[in-house]
């Protein structure tokens, strides 16, 4: 069970290295690890037709047992990764360490599989939100910027 601080002063204490010493939580490093982990998980686990749908022409509401299919085929970890990988990259404040993984994610079919999962989960808005924040953040990574520009068209 995760530890959940009940007051912001606990968080403030933990993220202040001078006050918390060896118990300090370095948010930037945590976001870097989570960003790398979420990208690696998506690159490894995402694939075509994640929920074995009979047709891609059906609305989610028309798919029989969609919630069961989601539970069976999309792990909570993968769902989390699909939702929040962009946030971890941004909060890590470092775009260069992600460049190889981002290139693989954005220039292969994995990008389409990510969109498929978000569609199945009813979270298509995450695609445009992630593209926008990454565009704002990755100005120094020209090839990624160009790929994301194409996504907005």
Domain count along the chain: 1
H-only helix segments in the chain: 8-15, 17-20, 27-45, 66-73, 76-92, 99-106, 110-120, 125-137, 142-152
DSSP state of 139: T
Task: For residue 84, give both structure tokens.
Answer: 């929040």
Question: Is pLDDT of 84 > 50?
Answer: yes
Are the C-beta atoms of residues 98 and 143 closer than 8 Å to each other?
no
In a domain, 109, yes or no: yes
Model-wide pTM > 0.75: yes
Confidence of residue 53 (pLDDT cuts 50, 70, 90): very high
Helix (H, G, I), strand (E, B) or coil at 6: coil
Tell me, what's the pLDDT at 2? 57
Per-residue pLDDT tens over the stretch 113-146? 999 999 999 999 999 999 888 877 765 555 555 5
Residue 23 in any domain: the answer is: no
């Amino acid at each position: 069970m995760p530890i959940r601080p009940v007051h912001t002063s606990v968080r403030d204490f933990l993220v202040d290295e001078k006050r918390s010493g060896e118990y300090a939580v370095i948010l930037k490093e945590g976001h870097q690890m989570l960003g790398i982990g979420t990208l690696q998980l998506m690159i490894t686990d995402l694939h075509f037709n994640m929920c074995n749908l009979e047709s891609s022409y059906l609305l989610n509401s028309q798919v029989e047992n969609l919630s069961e299919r989601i539970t069976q085929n999309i792990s909570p970890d993968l769902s989390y990764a699909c939702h929040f990988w962009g946030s971890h990259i941004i909060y890590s404040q470092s775009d260069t360490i992600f460049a190889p993984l981002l290139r693989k994610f954005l220039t292969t079919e994995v990008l389409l599989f990510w969109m498929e999962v978000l569609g199945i989960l009813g979270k298509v808005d995450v695609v445009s939100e992630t593209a926008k924040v990454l565009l704002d953040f990755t100005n120094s990574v020209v090839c990624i910027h160009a790929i994301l520009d194409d996504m907005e068209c």
